[in-house]
């Protein structure tokens, strides 16, 4: 149990330390110093007389040299190493209020601690958390320790030093996770022990300082174990959600192609009709109506085909963008699953691989459709030149070469 030390007494002791100059330790670990003047000497004497009975003070005063000698009274320590020498003080806050002289930090039970004192209080909280999950507590004053049993046994002694007073940033979060009502106490204890014993592997005995200095990594290990348990607990729910998303994405991916099927049916028909209705310039050069020195009928057919090709190209590009947006949504769902259910995310890799395979298939289909449309209307373009201009054989070779170059560039730059 924490002993009571009045905070007014501690504040008066701080005044005593400030009034002594120089302030040193004597051979037995007490304190000695000289008051700066007679007035300060009298103030210290007054404080001594005020509290000597309540705190059993036994101080030595020399009015000639103004030297004062005394042992550190209860609730005051020269440094943290002195405080941590006592096993119980490493596990239990020794006094309701206390003061560490070398760092000039005070702990008051009704105020939020800070600095090294705050770190010390956090370590006390850590120890209590460990104690609440231990299978056995060895209360031997010489070797006080906590025992954890899982597949192996792990013993944690209460040893740590002032140099181990570090910030335990994740402590409150871990304590909070194991304090909620989602898991029953037995399950919580099992998960914590499994993680702690598993983290330290084959080590059978460690110090509390080992836990303190590796606490962030231990927290990650505990969180992984907790996530694994919670994920297994909700596996069926997650599985249903993934299967539902899989069906939904498959339907939407298939729709990318089915939405333009009716428009694509017109491509071969338009090519056949256009090719059959083009007039050859040699047989009609005296009787045909000309537009820009081109047979009017050929020009109108070519213009109509060009507009149809342009419309189909826009439509295919729009479907390609729809496919890309679906891919982003699929990736987003996958990342969300990995973040929320990291422990079981690998079990659903197969479902996402099937969706990705379907995406790649639809992407290739759009590529082939785009390519087929380009070839079809490229042929009409070549036929238009062949039928509409003299030196048609030379024009045919040039336009065929241009079409091949265009298709090659198209393949290389297709997204």
pLDDT at position 28 over 70: no
pLDDT value for 40: 92
* DSSP code at position 3: B
pLDDT at position 410 over 90: no
| Sequence-distant (≥ 6) Cβ neighbours of residue 56 within 8 angstroms | none
List, for residues 357-372, the tens digit of each pLDDT value: 988 888 888 888 777 7
Percent of the chain with pLDDT over 90: 26
Q: How far is CA 226 from CA 135, 179, 194, 232, in A?
A: 19, 13, 10, 10
Q: Which of 139, 122, 217, 106 is nearest to 175 (CA)?
A: 122
Q: Which of 149-153, 276-280, 340-344 has the least mean pLDDT? A: 276-280
Q: How far is CA 140 from CA 88, 211, 392, in A?
A: 11, 21, 107
Q: How many CA atoms lie within 13 A of 276 on its CB side?
A: 6
pLDDT value for 131: 92
pLDDT value for 284: 47
Give the model's confidence band at 278: pLDDT under 50 very low, under 70 low, under 90 confident, else very high. low
Q: What is the mean pLDDT of residues 315-320?
A: 82
pLDDT value for 166: 93
Q: What is the mean pLDDT of residues 74-101?
A: 91
pLDDT at position 4 over 80: yes
pLDDT at position 182 over 80: no
**Rounded distance between C-alpha atoms, residue 43 and residue 132, angstroms:** 47
pLDDT value for 162: 93
pLDDT value for 411: 55
**Rounded distance between C-alpha atoms, residue 65 and residue 44, angstroms:** 14
- Asked if 386 and 398 count as a contact pair (C-beta separation under 8 A), the reply is no
Average pLDDT, the chain: 81
* DSSP code at position 136: E
| Sequence-distant (≥ 6) Cβ neighbours of residue 295 within 8 angstroms | 279, 281, 284, 288, 289, 387, 388
Q: Between 251 and 2, name the one with better pLDDT.
A: 251
Give residue for tokens 């537009």.
291
My answer on whether omega of the bond before 25 falls inside 30° of 0, hence cis, is no
**Rounded distance between C-alpha atoms, residue 85 and residue 361, angstroms:** 71
Domain positions in the chain are: 7-111, 122-233, 236-413
Q: At 147, which helix (H) or strand (E)? A: strand 145-149
225: its two tokens: 């174990």
Between strands 76-77 and 97-100, the pairing is parallel
pLDDT value for 117: 95
* Helix extents (H) in 259-295: 261-277, 281-284
Helix or strand or coil: residue 106? strand
Beta-bridge partner residues of 207? 157
pLDDT value for 233: 60
pLDDT value for 50: 92
List, for residues 120-179, the tens digit of each pLDDT value: 999 999 999 999 999 999 887 777 899 998 888 999 999 999 999 999 988 999 888 887
The segment with the largest mean pLDDT, out of 183-197, 276-290, 382-396, is 183-197
**Rounded distance between C-alpha atoms, residue 211 and residue 204, angstroms:** 13
Q: Which of 33, 211, 226 is nearest to 131 (CA)?
A: 211
Q: Between 195 and 380, name the one with better pLDDT.
A: 195
List, for residues 370-394, the tens digit of each pLDDT value: 777 777 777 777 776 666 665 555 5
**Rounded distance between C-alpha atoms, residue 57 and residue 48, angstroms:** 7
List, for residues 91-111, the tens digit of each pLDDT value: 999 999 999 988 999 999 888
Give the model's confidence band at 221: pLDDT under 50 very low, under 70 low, under 90 confident, else very high. confident
Q: Between 308 and 164, name the one with better pLDDT.
A: 164
**Rounded distance between C-alpha atoms, residue 355 and residue 332, angstroms:** 13
The segment with the largest mean pLDDT, out of 18-32, 291-305, 330-344, is 330-344
pTM of the model: 0.57
223: its two tokens: 């969180």
pLDDT value for 202: 73
pLDDT at position 287 over 60: no
pLDDT value for 150: 84
Give the model's confidence band at 351: pLDDT under 50 very low, under 70 low, under 90 confident, else very high. confident
**Rounded distance between C-alpha atoms, residue 271 and residue 372, angstroms:** 12
103 burial via Cβ count (<10 Å: 0-12, 13-18, 19+) = middle
Q: How far is CA 11 from CA 99, 121, 318, in A?
A: 9, 20, 77
217 burial via Cβ count (<10 Å: 0-12, 13-18, 19+) = exposed
């Amino acid at each position: 149990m924490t002993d009571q030390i009045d905070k007014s007494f501690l504040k008066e002791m701080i005044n005593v330390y400030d009034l002594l100059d120089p302030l040193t330790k004597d051979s037995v670990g007490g304190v000695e110093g000289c008051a700066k003047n007679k007035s300060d000497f009298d103030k210290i004497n007054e404080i001594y007389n005020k509290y000597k009975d309540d705190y059993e003070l036994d101080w030595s005063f020399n009015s000639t040299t103004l030297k004062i000698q005394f042992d550190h009274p209860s609730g005051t320590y020269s440094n943290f190493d002195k405080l941590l020498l006592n096993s119980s003080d490493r596990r239990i806050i020794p006094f309701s209020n206390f003061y560490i002289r070398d760092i000039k930090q005070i702990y008051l039970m009704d105020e939020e601690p800070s600095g090294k004192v705050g770190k010390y209080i956090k370590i006390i909280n850590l120890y209590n958390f460990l104690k609440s999950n231990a299978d056995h507590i060895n209360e031997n004053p010489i070797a006080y320790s906590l025992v954890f049993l899982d597949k192996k046994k792990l013993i944690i002694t209460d040893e740590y030093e002032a140099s181990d007073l570090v910030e335990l940033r994740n402590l409150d979060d871990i304590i909070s996770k194991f304090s909620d009502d989602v898991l029953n106490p037995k399950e919580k204890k099992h998960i914590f022990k499994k993680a702690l014993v598993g983290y330290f592997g084959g080590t059978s005995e460690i110090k509390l300082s080992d836990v303190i200095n590796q606490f962030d990594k231990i927290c990650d290990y505990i969180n992984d174990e907790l996530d694994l348990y919670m994920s297994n607990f909700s596996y069926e729910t997650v599985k249903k959600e993934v299967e539902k998303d899989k069906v939904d994405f498959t339907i939407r991916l298939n729709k990318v192609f089915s939405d333009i099927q009716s428009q694509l049916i017109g491509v071969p028909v338009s090519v056949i009709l256009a090719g059959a209705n083009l007039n050859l310039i040699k047989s009609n050069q005296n009787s045909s109506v000309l537009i820009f020195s081109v047979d009017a009928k050929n020009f109108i057919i070519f213009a109509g085909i060009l507009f149809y090709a342009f419309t189909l190209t826009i439509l295919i590009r729009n479907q390609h963008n729809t496919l890309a947006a679906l891919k982003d949504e699929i990736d987003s769902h996958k990342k969300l699953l990995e973040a929320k259910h990291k422990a079981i995310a690998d079990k659903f890799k197969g479902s996402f691989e099937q969706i990705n395979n379907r995406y790649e298939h639809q992407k290739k289909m759009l590529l082939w459709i785009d390519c087929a449309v380009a070839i079809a209307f490229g042929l009409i373009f070549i036929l238009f030149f062949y039928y509409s201009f003299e030196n048609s054989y030379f024009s045919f070779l040039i336009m065929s070469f241009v079409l091949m170059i265009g298709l090659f560039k198209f393949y290389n730059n297709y997204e």
